[in-house]
Amino acid sequence: MDPLQPLNLDDFSDLIERPDGGIRRDAEERRERLVVPPGALGRLDELGEWLSAAQSAVRVRAIGQPKAVLFAGDHGVAALGVSGRPAGTGHLLARAVLDGESPVAVLARSMDVPVRVVDAGLDCDPELLPEAVVRHRVRRGSGRIDVEDALTPEETEAAVRLGIALADEEADSGTDLVVLGDLSVGGTTAAATLIAALCGTDASVVTGRGGAGIDDLAWMRKCAAVRDALRRARPVLGDQLALLGAVGGADLAAMTGFLLQAAVRRMPVVLDGVVGAACALVAQRAAFRAPDWWLAGQVSGEPAQAKALDRMALNPLLDQGVHVGEGTGALLALPLVRAAAALAAELPERPEPAAEEADPAVEVL
């Protein structure tokens, strides 16, 4: 994307190609010849063939340089009491990851997967986090989407361009698969609003309990916030950038840009929860081929996530009841993806049956 030209997400429709269909057919034919009968490995067969197409290689390469990329941000709507965490405490989530004390950090350490935390819109003093984390910040917190825009048009474009630039950085550094997650307070409210708007559903249909869990009264407040934000979202449904600015947030806009550019760079992404699903749905609206480069890591239990994944025809790999967010569920799916790659690459093919020699005593007429 030319930084000197106005950003138009619809341009991604021409930039994104599908994974190589010819390679996938060749991989399917090779799978028919392996020693293990077709279908015996279940979805691992499908995963291996998907990886072949994504890598443009019949014999799948191992996932050698995965990375967890977590976009952090605070949302003004959290001040309404719609989250299980106090408003403005997203930096504590980021700090827990950096200190190795959060679930995603523990899992990443056990799997030897590096984690990158990106502050797109945390509401804290920059000095509370390392400079490498905060240097990309678009703004301090996002607006209260039930009554005001989350971002100005300039901030929205800056956030999307941030995601694009980070996807390029990861692809250029050799990252061959990204586990995408969010570190947000109030982010699931924004995500539910985006999904409800894009799927044409009511607030109560998409509103869940969030990663931190909320009681019934907080759920009712969250429904009301989504309902009010939806009124602001519907007039700008035809413009993805305006939609992200109205009811998204800096972290969601950056994730959307990241997903689109990752597809341009042919870099597979594993989605985690409802926030990633919402960004993916916005990205799909801009470029219909983009979801071919993504995997749904897990079922988070959020009704909005299920609706978004169904709209994109993405079938989650895992359902373990994990709803902590932060990329945790998606990271849990990584060993499954790695297993599929190893099996597709290393299982031998059945030997060709030896040709029967003609019996010299038999006269052939």
Cα–Cα distance for residue pair 181/188, rounded to 1 Å: 12
Q: Look at the chain and count its residues.
A: 365
Closest CA to 15 of 265, 279, 270: 265
Cα–Cα distance for residue pair 41/157, rounded to 1 Å: 44
C-beta separation of 84 from 210 below 8 A: yes
Cα–Cα distance for residue pair 276/160, rounded to 1 Å: 14
Catalytic residue among 49, 157, 170, 326: 326
- Tokens, residue 106: 């523990």
Q: For residue 354, how far is the Cα from the chain centroid?
A: 48
Cα–Cα distance for residue pair 83/245, rounded to 1 Å: 21
C-beta separation of 279 from 308 below 8 A: no
DSSP 30-93: HHHTBSSPTTTTTHHHHHHHHHHHHHT-SSPPP--SEEEEEEEEEBGGGGGS-SSS-TT-HHHH
- Is 302 an annotated catalytic residue? no
Catalytic residue list: 326
